[in-house]
Amino acid sequence: MQKLETAIRTIPDFPKPGVQFKDITPLLADGYLFRQAIDAFATRHADSGIDKVVGIEARGFVFASAVAYALGTGTCLVRKPGKLPHAVHRQTYDLEYGTDAVEIHTDAFEPGQKILIIDDVLATGGTVAATVELIQNNFDANIVELDFLIELAFLNGREKLEGSLIHALITY
């Protein structure tokens, strides 16, 4: 996936000092590379029997919806608080300073469904760990894998995700 890597730029000190932000917009803007990324996820899960692809707000939506289309499954939005219109389940999680939360509609899945979760970047793992908890605590669903365009391995996000299968197209 070296080609994909060339279309990701690092923006220093965004959105705050010390963060090396991975800007994926050049990759999204390139039709060939965007398709490469989506095909990589979709090919990997062609025989996984996935029922729903979950996208995490906001860039996760871009990948999850395209992969769902490729697999012919539904997609489902995990959002920050107050954005989903119907009844929700909520999971809070700790940030460096304070807490945040993710929400999902209470009717997101049928019992026994197989779920693929996708986000753009695995950093500290807090957001996706909360998403896994949100789903496991509220649904009888089977999370097949957690997939990312990028894993920032030096932040050790995997430590928060023990017991989950994880796959990233690009690792830093």
Question: Does the footprint of ligand AMP cover residue 127 (CB under 6 A)?
Answer: yes
User: Token pair 């996935």 is at which residue?
Assistant: 50
Sign of the CA dihedral 159, 161, 163, 168? negative
CB 80 within 8 A of CB 16: no
Q: Does 119 bind ligand AMP (CB under 6 A)?
A: yes
Using the rule CB under 6 A, give the single segment among 20-28, 39-47, 70-78, 163-171 that binds ligand AMP. 20-28
Residue 113 in tokens = 């469904």
Note whether 121 binds ligand AMP by CB under 6 A.
yes
Q: What is the DSSP letter of 103?
A: E
Whether 145 sits among the annotated catalytic residues: the reply is no
Copy the structure tokens of residue 96: 């460096």
Identified binder of ligand AMP from the candidate list 55, 71, 125, 147, rule CB under 6 A:
125
Alpha-carbon radius of gyration of the chain = 16
- 45 or 59, CB closer to ligand AMP? 59
Contact residues toward ligand AMP (CB under 6 A) are 19-22, 56, 59, 119-127, 152, 157
By annotation, the residues acting in catalysis are 59, 96
